[in-house]
Chains A and B, each alone.
Chain A
Amino acid sequence: MLRYIVQRLIAMAITFFIIISISFFILRLMPGSFADDPTLPREVVEQLEDKYHLNEPLIIQYGYFLKDAVKLDFGVSLKVEPKRTVGEILASKIPITMQLNLFAMLFMIPIGIILGIIAAIRKNRISDHLISVVVVLFISVPSFVFASGLQYIVAFKWNLLPTVLSKEQVLNWARFKSMILPILALSFSGIATITRYVRSELCEALNSEYMLLAKSKGLTQLQATIRHAMRNSFVPLANIIIPIFTSILFGSLVIEKIFAIPGMGGVLINAINAKDHTLTIGLLCFYSVISLMTVLIVDLSYGIIDPRIRIGGRK
């Protein structure tokens, strides 16, 4: 296992280097620059670009980039939040995004599991069909439609909850109240995914032979379901929940805009549109590390959660 982890880490490092290098060249080859303001004299634009070496040969720019990147210095944002380092920008935006999305996860996981269990146990009955309709609705309708609808009905028409995120900077009741609607909007598609998955796995588990054995040994249906079927069907949930956990760091562009949440959503898109190379590369590095770590953790989780699975093929 240890040897496998080391091999994977080395492969990750190589993959990361390739991703970042390709991203660097693609970004630098895109037309336009951060200083491109039609009203600025061309000479001024060129001097601004010279300051950040943007007019030098690509390979020399790459050299500067690597020299700073090994020190984890991605420079300062050129346009999106000028003069702030990538680290400062991430540090100011990630907490609110994580807070919001973790609450969403804490809501969606138990709800999704409960609905999945009900649907599986009451398979082909009315409750199962109702849950399926809800699941289809949650999957089909984009989250921003829910966000707009919830905001309009619950916040504006009924005046039950705040329209936008509260100004409070600490997590008190006022702040939490203002997060309820975006949390709900973020949760629905996750609830649908988890519900479908749990229902499918639990249905399969309920029809397995060990359930028949358990019941023949004297356990009730409920006892057998809880003690054996549910535990077995939850094991593969890790490969859904762990990616959900890491995807929350990307934020949600539209929902954050609707509820005026100063999170990660849209930062990367804004950086690319603004030709803010330093910020874009810094963000891509961050997201690449997170994504690669996610893949590794998911792979390792199989071996940890289910000892029957041996990573590396060793019996």
Chain B
Amino acid sequence: MKRFKKILALLLAISMVAVVFAGCAKQGAKTPKANQEEKKVEENKEAPKGSRVFRFADSKVATFNPHIYKTVPERESMLLFNGTLLRIVMNEAGDGYEIFPNHAKAFPERSEDGKVWTFKIREGLKFDDGTIINAKTYEESYKLLLDPKLKNPNSTVFYKDMFVVNAKKYWDGEAKWEEVGIKAIDDYTLEITLESAVPETTILDAFIFPTTSPVHVEMYTSLMNEEKTETKYGTDFDKIPKSTGGPYILKEWVRDQYRNFEKNPDSPLASVYKVDRVEIRAIEDNETILQLFEKGELDYVKLLGAKYDKYEEDPRVDFTPATTAMFIILNTESKDNPALQNLDFRKALHYGINRNVIAKDIYRTGKPANYYLPSSYIADFKTGESYRSTPQGKEVEAYTEVFNADKAKEYFDKAYKANGSKKINFEIAYFDTNENVKKISEYMEEAYENLFGADRIDVQLKAIPWQVSYDNVEKGDYQTGFAFWSGSRFEPWGMMEFFISDPGRKYNTYRNPEFDKLYERAKTGDLIYDKEGRINALRDMEKMVMNDLPIIPLVEVNIPIMFSDRVKLHSANGKYFPAGGLYQVLQADIEPLEE
């Protein structure tokens, strides 16, 4: 027994030591080739001194499969090493941007009826292994994106905002590929046929993001399971091409730790982007990121929450306006609270919130919003003019007020009388995991009860998961629900889909045939090539919504950011240009790392 105990103790000790070093060993057997690659990887870990490297921290990425990715960090990383037909870059002057024909030789030609778009593909494009990228590659890639067995969620790019002929039917398994409106006419000509005409911004939107990048078809299909219902493409560093003709090459990807990219000299964007190397660390703790920035190990940081207070006066601080509209949805058909059916009550709620308090005290860097579309949405993608800075955008801003206690009380008195002078029970449902939304709800509870009288209104707060909240709103089982809604900066008309009578999934009770008609005209009708007409339509649609108040807009969230002194942005005034995206930085002059 004693011997057994000694042997047991020895085995335990050996196994513990072995496990301690288990994390050290590289995965898999080391062949000489693997050793060589390992050495290369070691060399790629840190930027050599003197290189123009941009370093920042971001969330981890779950996948590099362009057909299933979901998050912004995934998109931004994929845009580094994936090629796209089109790209947005800063213009020469640095005061706006322009469309850069990346894999396409030019912006696609449009047929007279606006339904057929033809791309001419550049020659000489390649994957990192030398496989050629041409129109046939693009067609095969889109075929995989729409594959009926794979059921890739990002396939909606071809049948949600623009309707490629038979794309949805193919995805449903009800059409053959030959019937789909995506064709490689020849090796360098790609033709997209739509069921209805769309404006140029819709095309731009579809082809500047990684979803419509080419995939390495051979690798993609070789990584499929037997039933061809899944593929492991994009799940690991060795299951993804290191470049699909993108401006950078993926040099290293250690899951949940870091990803490094080096400039691709063969990319059409090589002459536009100046940064040699991009290093992204997967760090999610804001305090840690800030410490690394202060130590000079990162070149970019977001100053979220209380972090902003310390750097408020720092000249390096700039702002990036969010594309997310933040508002409260009101159930105008509520049976639980019939007062919500009364427009006067909704107006009282709208005027009764002091949005300045929410913008400054809760978000610190927010901007009060008595309108739906945030400032980052662009009315003219050729000039970069923000919709909110147009006369039409300003007109909507002046249409109502961010706060007016007297008006709020006036409307509430009318609503209270219409309610039979009975106390109104008003429920605010907020997301249980969002601290700011909770603070806003608590503020609203206090504000309304103080303003209208606690004897006349009882505000109850309810914490629920955001998925449940959206579910309840969709089913109509709610009084209120918070919403964060975003879309493409270049397509603010797409944001108005939220209010049409039948968008497929309805998250509000607003139904207006006049609104529907105007939306259709702006998205697919006679206004699509009428720039001024479209902006007027946007104004009119916003006003219609504000007339009926199925939502209460709250604030625009401006995110304060800082770049390190090494980064000299390519910008007319040295400032961060909204809607330029992080890719404005790739055109920046970056001082080499110190020796």
Contact = CB atoms under 8 A, between A and B. Distances in A.
Interface string B271-289: 0000000000111110110
A171 B22 CA distance: 9
Contacts of B292: 163-164
Nearest to A81: B62
A32 B468 contact: yes
Interface string A27-57: 0000110011110111110011001000000
A147 B294 CA distance: 19
Given A156-B295, A170-B24, A170-B26, A76 B281 contact: no
Interface string A292-307: 0000000000001101
Interface string A225-264: 0000000000000000000000000000000011110100
B433 to A, nearest CB: 8
Interface in A81-105: 81-84, 88, 92-93, 95-96, 98-100, 102-103
A258 B23 contact: no
Contact of B63 (A81, A96, A257): A81
B318 interface: no
Most buried by B among A95, A257, A275: A95
Given A83-B65, A155-B291, A156-B294, A44 B153 contact: yes
Contact of A163 (B65, B284, B295, B471): B295
Contacts of A83: 63, 65, 68, 230-235
A165 interface: yes
Contacts of B295: 156, 159, 163
Contacts of B297: 163
A93 B282 CA distance: 15
Nearest to B229: A51
B contact residues, range:
35 or more
Interface in B16-31: 16, 19-26
B407 interface: no
A259 B23 CA distance: 17
Interface string B463-485: 00101101100100000000000
A307 B62 contact: no
A167 B45 contact: yes
Contacts of A32: 465, 467-468, 471
B582 to A, nearest CB: 20
Given A99-B24, A258-B288, A169 B16 contact: no
A167 B60 CA distance: 14
Contacts of B153: 35, 37, 40, 44, 48
B151 interface: yes
A7 B46 CA distance: 56
B16 A102 contact: yes
B505 interface: yes
A152 B285 CA distance: 13
A215 interface: no
B1 interface: yes
Contacts of B172: 47
Nearest to A171: B24
A40 B68 contact: no
A163 B285 CA distance: 12
A260 B230 contact: no
A82 B68 contact: yes
B257 interface: yes
10 smallest CB-CB distances across A and B, nearest first, come from A262-B256, A99-B23, A171-B24, A95-B23, A32-B467, A260-B283, A41-B504, A156-B291, A102-B20, A51-B151
8 contacts: A35-B153, A38-B474, A83-B65, A99-B21, A99-B23, A169-B26, A260-B288, A262-B282
Given A40-B156, A167-B258, 15 more contacts: A36-B471, A37-B153, A40-B505, A41-B160, A81-B235, A83-B235, A88-B235, A95-B23, A98-B20, A148-B287, A151-B291, A164-B281, A169-B254, A257-B284, A260-B284
